[in-house]
Structure 1
Amino acid sequence: MPRPSELLKEMTRYLGYAEPAGGRTVFGASFRERKDLRPTDAWDKGAWCDMYVAQCALAAGGKDMLAVVGDFAWTVGHAQWFKDNGRWHAGTAGIRAGDIVFFDWAGGKKIDAIDHVATVEKVHSARDIQTIDGNIGDSCVRNRRTNACVVGFGRPAYDGRPSVPNLSLAAVLAELGDAPGFPGTVQQGHKGANVRRVQEKLRRRRFKLGPAGVDADFGPDTRAAVRGFQESQGMDATGVVDKRTWVALWEARLKA
């Protein structure tokens, strides 16, 4: 069953994600695939603040987490769902980490005017909260916010026990979307953010990274995982992340 810390941990993995130039996001594509929606571009290139919340819930805790956090693309519908289920709270009194908070940038207090949704990461006071947001400046970011534009918040039915994610489903959905710009060859001996991004994609595709896991250090275990991925895609198994491998880590579908 779900814990708020699991959702927040997953959301932090995407901090720094930027919407690709073509406007097609992993969050929109995931939502559209899951719901079997058409036309494709309306979802893949749509406003994605709420679909980001859904994607992270699914990856963090599978269907159990998604069922309590909500699986929505429309912020108004999401807030109304919380209200219909007796889990809606107006304003910010009693707000806490893991709550799903809804905003009206015009300062109104009605659900049908909501513009944006985020997830509460920290509460400094009822007037000062820290959130993790998607689709702010086309990116995933942290924000400090006052209560001025908050309409209210929904409290998912967390129960404090660990979730059991549907890793295979999350892995498939997490790979949808355009790859970020190729940063240059990533290979054994390299360290840093680009190595971590490669490792995260390998982990989501269920390739073993050895005891160190995702550590931003491209060692022999990561090289072996890259080779395994390349073989699965019919590429030369060099163990070096070239441009073709980089793109495939994001865009290639998992094989059955």
Structure 2
Amino acid sequence: MSAAGMLAQARKTLGMSGRPNKITREYAKRHGDEFLKASWCDMAVTYWARHSDNADAVLPGGDRAYTVWHAQDFQKAGRWHSGTTANVNKAKPGDIVFFDWGATNSVGAIDHVGIVEKALGNGRVQTIEGNTSDACKRRVRASNVIAGYGRPAYGGNDWMEAMVKKLPQLAKGDHGEHVESVQGLLLARSHPEVSVTGRFDDTTEKAVRAVQKWGGIDADGVVGPKTWPVLLRVH
């Protein structure tokens, strides 16, 4: 299970339009012909999850075509984040994002759903959505119409998050094996000026700030829980 696999499946359906289509046909085979021409945004999420081996993570309540129930599934699982600007800025690729065109942020008023492809900052995300103008397209959405998002328990992400939590916070003046790891990762991020000395020096700090800026996080020069994932390219 992984967010990357989920997104790969979503990208494969970009450009699909009209109904019935292969997404609604597959859903209808399991749940009845009434779904052949129904709104298919959440059927698309179900399709992507099933075809990427992510059903357990993305569909905690089983197949969904009704967005409100799907959002409630994430609430019951304790994996729901309301659509405030601050929360939207913390969205990650693979999060399942729910929209309320009435801008009430009420789960009961949810109208539409998609998957986060990229967080853009300033309360915006780039998404892939089924049944947007009756097609599968990329969109850019802002927090004012985002009711919230569910964070699936992708196995790979949970493992990586647990690993990152065990890594130390490092700053200029520190030394040792973990500093060597940082320096090696900086070299892999195209910073040849860094040497693997095990000493967190001025050159290392400058390179860390550059990577932080590239990753869209505070460029404070300190390697902590927000910087390790950027260095490891898991966000």
Within 1, Cα distance between the matches of 2:138 and 2:37? 22
1:62-101 CA-partner distances (Å, limit 9, x unpaired): xxx1111012000000000000111111115121110000
2:131 paired residue number: 135
Within 1, Cα distance between the matches of 2:42 and 2:155? 22
Within 2, Cα distance between the matches of 1:160 and 1:33? 31
Post-superposition, which runs of at least 4 consecutive aligned residues in structure 1 deviate over 4 A? Answer: none
- For these two proteins, the number of residue pairs brought into alignment is 150
| 1:99 maps onto 2:95 in alignment | yes
- Which structure has the higher relative contact order (CA within 8 Å, separation 6+)? 1
2:44 paired residue number: 52
Structure 2 residue runs of 5 or longer lacking an equivalent are: 158-235
1:165-193 CA-partner distances (Å, limit 9, x unpaired): xxxxxxxxxxxxxxxxxxxxxxxxxxxxx
Return the offset for 1:126: 4.9
8 A Cα contact 1:100 1:120, kept in partner? yes
- Which one of 49, 54, 66 corresponds to residue 55 of structure 2? 66
8 A Cα contact 1:48 1:134, kept in partner? yes
Within 2, Cα distance between the matches of 1:55 and 1:95? 22
2:13 paired residue number: 14
1:167 paired residue number: none
Within 2, Cα distance between the matches of 1:91 and 1:105? 12
Return the offset for 1:137: 0.9
Structure 1 residue runs of 5 or longer lacking an equivalent are: 162-256
1:145 paired residue number: 141
Moved more, 88-97 or 145-154: 88-97
Return the offset for 1:117: 0.2
**How do 1:35-184 residues align onto structure 2 when only pairs under 5 Å count?**
37-38=31-32, 40=33, 42-61=34-53, 65-70=54-59, 71-92=63-84, 93=87, 94-160=90-156
Within 1, Cα distance between the matches of 2:29 and 2:82? 33
Return the offset for 1:106: 1.0
1:94-148 CA-partner distances (Å, limit 9, x unpaired): 2111000000001111101000000000001151110000001111000111111
- Residue identity in the other structure for 1:159: G
Quick one: percent identity of the two aligned structures? 39
1:174 paired residue number: none
Within 2, Cα distance between the matches of 1:141 and 1:111? 23
Of structures 1 and 2, the larger Rg is shown by 2
